[in-house]
Structure 1
Amino acid sequence: MAQKKQTTMNKPITRFMKHLHLVGLFVLIAYQQVSAQSTMDLRQCIQYGLTNNAQIQQSQLVVARTNEQRNETRAAYLPQLDGSVSLTNNLQLQTSILPGEIIGQPGEEVAVQFGTKYNVMAGVDASQVLYSQSLIYGMKIAEKSSTISAISAKKTEEQVIYDIASAFYAAQVSFTQQAIIASNIAQVDTLIRLTTIQFDNGFAKQIDLDRLTVNRTNLQTDFDNSNQAYQQQLMMLKYYMGMPLDTQLELPLIDSEANAVKLTDPEALNQTDLSLLQAQQDLYSMQLKQIKAGYIPTLSLAFHSGIQIQQNDLRIFGKDADWFPNSYVSLNLSIPIFDGLARNSRVKQMTFQLKESELSEQYLLQGLTMQRTNALSKLQINQAALENQRRNIELSRKVYEVTQAQYTGGLVTLTELVNAETALKESQTNYLQSLVQVKLAELELIKTTGTYTSLN
């Protein structure tokens, strides 16, 4: 008779268990619907960050500044034109001592003052560098500095992309775990209500309810911890994106069936790092040539044209104002002879710096090669672990389905069914963790190869 009651009681339980997973599905759908309006995927987060990240904006300002410095250097080889106007009031004219023979007083010295009280001059000065090897290299250095700042800006963008992607994956897995735990809580709540009915009818024990309650408490703790981790990771993601921290942002649930990121060239090395170092080497080489060019004479042309008037009464615009023109043109050759060996010391310093840069390039190539090899190995290991977790999910699902059938037939207790359900959810969580590890390994490989276009 008890067996018949158990079978009768299990019929609604069977129908309930068939739809138990739908509860979790509805919870996941609800999570997505609530955040649909403010959900951003990885590409959207990256694009937002490339526009709003403060480091990127700062690097763009550096590029603009170095471009203007380049223009400033070019200006040194263009004609220079200056105008000047001066008004001098000789409060007390300078006195000169002349021999008296000049004025018919031989043997005496005569004090004489020359000039007028007011002296007004106006003129234009023009100059043009005709040849300066040092200036020529200076313009090349400014051009290379502009190139370096552009490469550095690109490197900053790549680092921001990496930081955003890392924070995105970490936050996304916490959000997905949160949704899974919420699904588990909903299922356990339903089981508690059902077991309470069974207990009231004498078909369940108090220990079953106690175990479910403990399970429910543990799940709530896991949910709170996951939510806290998600909020912290979401805050970090906003920081990397340059988004106001009080802005509402939600992420999509992680796609467990998502394909791996397609790398354009997994055997490549990060060209940005190499390009930056090579550009710096070119800069050092040009600076060395510029220092050596200091031994070469420079040739310049100068021109002056002006007018001058001298009066004791300041009437420069009067009819009797006599303005006298003056002008000259000069060709100037500057020949360096001896500077106390200062230039020779600078040549040696720059030679050492250039050799240091060449060694840095070798070290960088070795480091990038090592990082790429390690990243590929890490990716392969994590992909294998992911496949193992995928099989583990299938096995856990089969165990759960068998346990569910046995529970329907009254062969196992409710606690065993809950344990099977928990094992299934744990395998799902482990799979998500493995999936994130694969994503992070892909990200490390992208960083070492410089293939950031595969992300955005």
Structure 2
Amino acid sequence: MKKRLTLIVAAFMLLGFTGAQAQEVKQFSLQQSIDYALQNRANLKAAQNDEKIAKAKVGEIRAMGLPQLDASLDVGNNFVPQKGFLPAEFFGGKKGEFTPVTFSPGYTGTATINGRQLLFDGSYLIGLKAANTYTELSRKTTAQTEIDIAEQVSKAYYGVLVNRERMELLNQNLTRLDTLLRQTRTMFENGVAEQLDVDRLRVSYNNLQVEQQKAERLMQLAESLLKFQMGLPQDQPIILTDKLNEVEVDVAKTDAKSFDYSKRIEYSILETQRDLATLDLRNNNSGYLPKLYLNARYGYNAANNEFGELTKTNNWLEYGYIGGQLQLPIFDGLRKHYLGQQAKLKVENTKYGFETLRQSIDLQLEQATTELTNSLDVLKAQQENLALAEDIARVSKIKYQEGVGSNLEVITAETDLRQAQTNYYAAIYDALIAKVNLEKAQGTLITK
């Protein structure tokens, strides 16, 4: 008895521990799902880091125009002194001969502080502008990543909503068919129906069970895809708060002639790329301008044949220098000339890029509008077909129960109803995806 009581207590403790470890179910609307993804998607965090890198690059380039200071200390032993040659006649030798002479002491030391200040460099000034423009490009690239994430999350979210509604309908179908199967089996036992009627319904019931199991797996896969797009752990249970019947889907006609292309992030990115290409051209042209620097040095030199004497302060001789340096480019083998040609062609290519992008956006707007219009037409037709299939299935069941209809007619009506349901929800999903595509084409998927 004590052993059994101990096992029961242990079981309750295990259940309590498991319950404590269970994760809290999180609820998400579509907007909340997008916001969560924008905070947690790894690729967006990487894009944001690239944006920070671009800002740090501006600081790096700006530092090139600030004073540059460095200090050095050099102490060494000339264990094999370098020798020079003097005429031998200086030392009483023959004329025309040379005597090797050592000028280097045994130990030497140098302590120096060097300073350098850029006074003028056309490339530096343009480089600062280019760095700021590159930062802007990085920011817009991050915005483009955010739009792509919003698109992916929206489509995955709608996929879960559609699958959830379809699962509920499949469960209702399975319950209805199970009831009909039990009624038919009772009728067979009373001699009103045939075994063939029972077998047909049983086959239909088994097929619907398999379809339900497949739908459950697809539902799990759809949720896994949504969690992935959100950057959410796969073991985190979630509940979607939006309802499928609350999603508004309509066609907002957009006139391509009056469309503001700047609403599209791709167009804005191309504008920044054009600015960078123009700055690159200006930077190449600035290479023909001179560069002016201010240089300064201050330090001490020491030399002695004894290392101990070298360390004494009175052996160090002070020196200083300040001056300017002017660099004039004269000839570089036409390198800047050819770089300039490349830069001009890049600027010209950005102009062609605008023309191509505008045509592409016009086509996307037309295509997305057409797809949504067609999807809504199909949805309307499938909705009507679903209503008719439901009515046919209802009447067929009544006729069979009243003895004026056949079992085969009921099964056929049920099969047609399930096909109509499948078509209806496929049409809903297509309309939702077309809605997202149109919002992206219009540049309204994310508005800040």
Structure 1 counterpart of 2:270:
277
User: Residues of 1 paired with 2:374 and 2:28: CA distance?
Assistant: 30
**Does the alignment pair 1:81 with 2:63?**
no
Please tell me whether the aligned partners of residues 25 and 237 of structure 2 are also in contact (alpha carbons under 8 angstroms): no
Structure 2 counterpart of 1:27:
none
Name stretches of at least 5 consecutive residues in structure 2 with no aligned partner: 1-22
Structure 1 counterpart of 2:47:
59
Q: 1:289 aligns with which of 273, 282, 286?
A: 282
- After TM superposition, give the deviation of residue 304 of structure 1 in Å: 0.7
Which deviates the most, 422-431 or 376-385? 422-431
CA separation of 1:388/1:320 partners in 2, compared to 1, >3 Å: closer, same or farther?
closer
**Does the alignment pair 1:383 with 2:376?**
yes
Q: Which one-letter code corresponds to 1:342 in the other structure?
A: R
CA separation of 1:437/1:67 partners in 2, compared to 1, >3 Å: closer, same or farther?
same
Structure 2 counterpart of 1:443:
436
CA deviation map 1:270-321 (0-9, x unaligned) = 5210011111111111011101110000111011111121121123676673
Structure 1 counterpart of 2:13:
none
CA separation of 1:211/1:329 partners in 2, compared to 1, >3 Å: closer, same or farther?
same
CA deviation map 1:376-407 (0-9, x unaligned) = 11111111222222333333444455455555
**Does the alignment pair 1:156 with 2:156?**
no
- After TM superposition, give the deviation of residue 419 of structure 1 in Å: 4.5
Please tell me whether the aligned partners of residues 315 and 321 of structure 1 are also in contact (alpha carbons under 8 angstroms): no
CA separation of 1:74/1:419 partners in 2, compared to 1, >3 Å: closer, same or farther?
same
Which deviates the most, 220-229 or 356-365? 220-229
CA separation of 1:318/1:307 partners in 2, compared to 1, >3 Å: closer, same or farther?
closer
Identity of aligned residues (%): 28
Structure 2 counterpart of 1:359:
352
- After TM superposition, give the deviation of residue 422 of structure 1 in Å: 4.8
Structure 2 counterpart of 1:90:
78
User: Residues of 1 paired with 2:111 and 2:442: CA distance?
Assistant: 65
Structure 1 counterpart SS, 2:438: helix
Name stretches of at least 5 consecutive residues in structure 1 with no aligned partner: 1-34
Please tell me whether the aligned partners of residues 30 and 242 of structure 2 are also in contact (alpha carbons under 8 angstroms): no
User: Residues of 1 paired with 2:61 and 2:341: CA distance?
Assistant: 25
Q: How does 1:304-453 map to 2 (within 5 A)?
A: 304-315=297-308, 321-403=314-396, 406=399, 409-413=402-406, 416-417=409-410, 419-453=412-446
Which deviates the most, 290-299 or 186-195? 186-195
- What is the TM-score with the length of structure 1 in the denominator? 0.83
- After TM superposition, give the deviation of residue 46 of structure 1 in Å: 2.1
**Does the alignment pair 1:42 with 2:54?**
no
- After TM superposition, give the deviation of residue 252 of structure 1 in Å: 6.3
Q: Which one-letter code corresponds to 1:163 in the other structure?
A: Q
TM-align CA RMSD: 2.9
CA separation of 1:323/1:213 partners in 2, compared to 1, >3 Å: closer, same or farther?
same
- After TM superposition, give the deviation of residue 122 of structure 1 in Å: 0.8
Structure 1 counterpart of 2:135:
146
CA deviation map 1:89-133 (0-9, x unaligned) = 111222222235656768464433223211111111111100000
- After TM superposition, give the deviation of residue 84 of structure 1 in Å: 0.7
User: Residues of 2 paired with 1:432 and 1:73: CA distance?
Assistant: 57
**Does the alignment pair 1:69 with 2:64?**
no
**Does the alignment pair 1:117 with 2:96?**
no
Q: How does 1:136-215 map to 2 (within 5 A)?
A: 136-215=125-204
CA separation of 1:285/1:180 partners in 2, compared to 1, >3 Å: closer, same or farther?
same
Please tell me whether the aligned partners of residues 175 and 226 of structure 1 are also in contact (alpha carbons under 8 angstroms): no
Which deviates the most, 219-228 or 362-371? 219-228
Please tell me whether the aligned partners of residues 172 and 252 of structure 1 are also in contact (alpha carbons under 8 angstroms): no
Q: How many residues align?
A: 421
CA separation of 1:262/1:87 partners in 2, compared to 1, >3 Å: closer, same or farther?
farther
User: Residues of 2 paired with 1:110 and 1:264: CA distance?
Assistant: 99
- After TM superposition, give the deviation of residue 434 of structure 1 in Å: 1.3
Q: How does 1:297-308 map to 2 (within 5 A)?
A: 297-308=290-301
Q: Which one-letter code corresponds to 2:35 in the other structure?
A: Q
- After TM superposition, give the deviation of residue 340 of structure 1 in Å: 0.3
